[in-house]
Amino acid sequence: MSEAAATHNDLTAHRDLTAPPGTATDQVESSPAGVSWQKLMMWIFIVSDGLLFAGLLCGYGFVRIASPIWPDRGEIFHLPMIGFMTFLLISSSATMASAVAAAGRADRGATVRFLLFTILGGLGFMGMQAYEWSSLIQEGARLDSNPWGVPAFSGAFFLITGFHGSHVLSGIVLLAITAWRMAAGKSTAAGIELAGLYWHFVDLVWVFIFTLFYLI
């Protein structure tokens, strides 16, 4: 009996020696940026994904400045609806932040509830974007042509909002999985925080698209 306990102790001691420096709690602080490695990697993913959108928006900026004329976006876009889509996305970001806070104090019910509100906001946004796309396509807008005179206008529009919309879709899938795992007690507060960072990033990109494409 005592021999078994001693062996067990030896095994743990051995494991501690061969494990990388730091225990599970130390690993949270082990990356050079002062956050867990998972969180640092999420930030690096967000930065590289952000550079994708920076490239797309800069390309759009080039075409927009170089083009002698540009369609009157006020006649093409339905701004009140775009404003409501922005409202939905900002609100879903607020509920996401609340979900992270609820997960931080181990309130599983509130976390799942806030996550579901966030998913609802994302679904509403996607539904309205699908409506916007289909009405523009009905009016004759294509990737390489449109009735408003500048072919690059609809090309840039579908490319940029399409890339953003696919990010919203991935975010909804990610949040649905996270909410389901949270309800089953399989997810941690750190996992919710990582999903939250991605969702806020989707909101962040929309701020730039909303301003640079719809308002300017």
Binding site for other proteins (CB under 8 A): 32-35, 40, 43-44, 46-47, 50-51, 54-55, 58-59, 61-68, 74, 79, 83, 86-87, 90-91, 93-94, 96-98, 101, 104-105, 196-197, 200-201, 203-204, 207-208, 210-212, 215-216
Burial 129-154 (b: 16+ CB within 10 A, else e): beebbeebeeeebeeeebebebbbbb
Taking the mean position of all CA atoms in its chain, how far away is CA 188?
Answer: 19
Minimum CB separation of residue 13 from other proteins in Å reads: 33
Minimum CB separation of residue 17 from other proteins in Å reads: 30
CB-nearer residue toward other proteins: 9 or 152: 152
Minimum CB separation of residue 70 from other proteins in Å reads: 11
- Cα dihedral 118, 119, 120, 124 sign: positive
- Cα dihedral 57, 60, 66, 70 sign: negative
CB-nearer residue toward other proteins: 12 or 170: 170
CB-nearer residue toward other proteins: 141 or 209: 209
Instruction: Determine phi and psi for 118, rounding to 5 degrees.
Output: -60, -45
Minimum CB separation of residue 2 from other proteins in Å reads: 41
Minimum CB separation of residue 32 from other proteins in Å reads: 6
List, as one string, the DSSP characters of 150-199: -HHHHHHHHHHHHHHHHHHHHHHHHHHHHHHHHHTT---HHHHHHHHHHH
- For the chain, the distance separating the N- and C-terminal CA atoms, rounded to the nearest angstrom, is 77
CB-nearer residue toward other proteins: 109 or 140: 109
CB-nearer residue toward other proteins: 4 or 65: 65
Please state, in angstroms and as integers, the Cα–Cα distance from residue 193 to each residue in 175, 196, 200, following that order.
Answer: 11, 5, 10
Please state, in angstroms and as integers, the Cα–Cα distance from residue 36 to each residue in 90, 118, 156, 187, following that order.
Answer: 27, 25, 37, 16
CB-nearer residue toward other proteins: 44 or 137: 44
Minimum CB separation of residue 42 from other proteins in Å reads: 10
